[in-house]
A = this chain, B = another copy of it.
Amino acid sequence: MTDSLPPIQTTARDDAVLKALAGFVRQEALGPGQKLPTERILAERLKVSRNTVREALTRWEGLGLVERRQGSGTYLKAAVSPDMLHMPLTLAGGNDFAGLMCTLEIRRALEAEAAALCAVRAGKAELAEIEHKLNVMEEAFRTRDGMSSDEDWEFHQAIFRASGNPLFEQIIAAMYELFHRFWEHPLGVRDFGHASFPYHRTIFDRIVARDPEGARAEALKLIATVEDDLKRGAANLKLSDRK
């Protein structure tokens, strides 16, 4: 057999554009937030049409690597390196109770593991960051007397980042969005998330104690309270079921 004879690429303009652009970003040491050259300039320098440049940038935009602002420019949104692996994952949205429960099962598995890894790997800076987010969240809880989605989420994100594995944050972020796309309002449960509050600090305590299994156990308890809330919401919704 004549394997490993990849078909020659007679046309791969936009791919070449992206490779060149990745090299440029590397050479200029550009980081997130920084602006990269104009489409017109890129087209001229690379000797390709502006349309081709646009198709290439559209791909990067779809991968979340870049953000375009009309009238302003194109800005890096994440670190870009010539050797990156992209794996687009599209999830069929489950808009019902079972679908929400599915996202929680994934979170249960991943959050527990992330908390355990965090307890092992987190450095001093990461611990300080997590503690700060925890304090902000607790303050918001006291003043507004209820869980605040945003501050709560930032606390969890800090843990994922400290796990040393970027995939945790990316995947759980997808679960989070999938969950909140349909949730918005807590399905009639007024104090949604209330029960999860104390576990945030217990998780943090186990992490600073460098106790991975303890952190895992506390994370599992936290997710369990969310699952309970969801079940209560589903019960409330039973009567007004749509479709």
Contacts and interface: CB of A to CB of B under 8 A. Distances in A.
Question: What is the predominant secondary structure among interface residues of chain A facing chain B?
Answer: helix
B85 A167 contact: no
A83 B96 CA distance: 10
Contacts of A64: 88, 90
Chain A interface size, under 10 / 10 to 19 / 20 to 34 / 35 or more: 35 or more
A94 interface: yes
Interface stretch (A34-42, A105-113, A186-194, A226-234): A105-113
Contacts of A93: 81, 83-85
Contacts of A174: 85, 87, 89
Interface stretch (A122-130, A176-184, A201-209): A176-184
A68 to B, nearest CB: 11
A140 interface: no
A88 B165 CA distance: 16
Given A86-B89, A89-B171, 20 more contacts: A54-B55, A55-B58, A58-B59, A62-B62, A62-B86, A83-B94, A85-B90, A85-B174, A87-B89, A87-B174, A87-B177, A88-B88, A89-B174, A91-B166, A91-B170, A105-B165, A105-B167, A105-B168, A106-B110, A109-B109
A110 B85 CA distance: 19
Given A109-B110, A170-B91, A85 B55 contact: no
17 contacts: A58-B59, A59-B59, A63-B90, A78-B90, A79-B92, A83-B94, A84-B93, A85-B93, A85-B174, A85-B178, A88-B88, A91-B167, A102-B166, A105-B113, A105-B167, A108-B113, A110-B110
Contacts of A112: 109
Interface string A63-101: 111000010000000110101111111111111000100
A110 B89 CA distance: 16
Contacts of A61: 59
B59 A62 contact: yes
Contacts of A135: none
B110 A167 contact: no
Listed from nearest, the 3 A-B pairs whose CB atoms lie closest are A85-B94, A109-B113, A87-B174
Interface string A149-181: 000000000000000011110110111011001
A103 interface: yes
